[in-house]
Structure 1
């Protein structure tokens, strides 16, 4: 079910996905641009009810995978909306040779959404290069895997211990420890972080974690304080 998250932005929680025995909640966002075209970020499994509600908002023109890890449901969305452009983050074209991507995501937003959505490519991480977005109208920063928080009810036994050690089970979303260690070029990451921290953010939306709806800029400074500044 779609829920409005702010001006011209809606979210939908999808089915949990299992990775190495860990169950992660999933979330997507739909942004309606001034043209009426829809921008779909990090699509979840295409359920009938979600599809009907999205169709009621407008025409999907942009389907965006924010990093090379979020590709599980791209094929079904691509098949359902063949006229929408499919965007690949760094590394995903080679990983998903079965998909015909229309464009690559970079550090600069394309003209189709440049006036409404900004983006910054967080480079320097060996796990994945993530493109972080900022929807101006709602003041929302959209982060995929760089910030995570697994609900306590999805954890038990040794997985609960591992999640706690990996900083994925704290009182607020955080950058997992494995991602922190994977930043082998922190200077490049700090350049992107400086841009992200400069956005006039009101909210932070994550694919795996509780959305932050107040004091977003202070939260982002806390979450990425370990990285330092450019």
Structure 2
């Protein structure tokens, strides 16, 4: 899995970009093939809190270019966040480099990592674990909570935790919604090396697009992703929809700047207003 997320020439293909003019929100975008064939891309997000501490969401590989960017941002990595049970494979490498950092993730992830045998997966303790039974009372720290709102979408199969960086109105999520195709995440890949999606891959990319009416994504989320506990899913979406944001940083596909709230409300319309 790791070699698919970050290829051997990692620093040649990674795209590092400031999302906000302040430079406090930075994305690390990389190639990634879902099921080894669908180019959905991967993305980590670094946020510099108002305290100066750094929070890293969905960490990708810790390469020299990434280390240089962290140094530029103050190098005070205090929070390492796996926002669901899938986006965790580089946590150990980051935890080794920043032993002072608090690991944060959803219930089920520590147990999943305990069972994994890959040599790059460690058994580091999590400082904060989000649980469905106590999510309303869960806190992280005073400095973190001052800058962030968060919602544990425990009704999502991947156990999503979605974050709002309040100072700059940036919503950070993992698999809650995609925004394919993944253009930025493949922009530094040589044309000859770029994947050529087959029929099934192209279909997947269509239903994970926010273009037009986003009917494919709306149907996928309604009929599949939220089906197991739609009431709980709708409640989480309502809480996220109440936040003030204009930018969405997804793990897969393009960052949505300026009209993020409108796109979110379009994709989750049936969950917010009811399916007609």
Instruction: State the TM-score, normalizing by the size of structure 1.
Output: 0.88
Cross-structure match for 1:219: 263
User: Could you say which residue in structure 2 is the equivalent of 1:49?
Assistant: 65
Q: 1:100 aligns with which of 110, 122, 125?
A: 125
Which of these residues, 160, 175, 182, is aligned with residue 225 of structure 2? Answer: 182
Deviations 1:124-149 (A, max 9, x none): 23x21101000011101111111113
Do the aligned residues in 2 keep the contact of 1:14 with 1:25 (CA within 8 Å)?
yes
| Unmatched tracts of structure 1, length 5 or more | none
1:23-67 CA-partner distances (Å, limit 9, x unpaired): 321111111112211011111111111112112212100000000
Structure 2, unpaired ranges of 5+: 1-14, 115-122, 183-193
Moved more, 52-61 or 175-184: 175-184
Runs of 4 or more off by more than 6 Å in structure 1? Answer: none
Residue 45 to residue 18, structure 1, CA distance change in 2 (3 Å): farther
Instruction: Trace 1:111-190 onto structure 2 (pairs within 5 A).
Output: 111=141, 112-125=143-156, 127-151=157-181, 154=195, 156-164=197-205, 167-169=207-209, 171=211, 175=217, 179-180=221-222, 181-183=224-226, 184-190=228-234
Cα deviation, residue 191, structure 1 = 1.4
For 2:266, what is the secondary structure of its paired residue?
Answer: helix
| TM-score in terms of structure 2 length | 0.74
- Report the structure number with the largest CA radius of gyration: 2
Counterpart of 1:121 in 2: which secondary structure? Answer: strand
Alpha-carbon displacement from aligned partner over 1:13-32 (angstroms, at most 9, x marks no partner): 12424425323211111111
Moved more, 79-88 or 177-186: 177-186
Matched residue count:
228
Name the Cα RMSD after superposition: 2.4
State the Cα deviation string for residues 80-124 of structure 1 (Å, max 9, x = none): 111111112121011112232222134544223111011011122
- Contact kept? 1:141, 1:203, Cα under 8 Å: yes
More strand by share: 1
1:155 and 1:197 map into 2 onto residues whose CA distance is 36
Contact 1:194–1:229 (8 Å) recurs in 2:
no
Give the conservation status (yes or no) of the 8 Å contact 2:31–2:39.
no
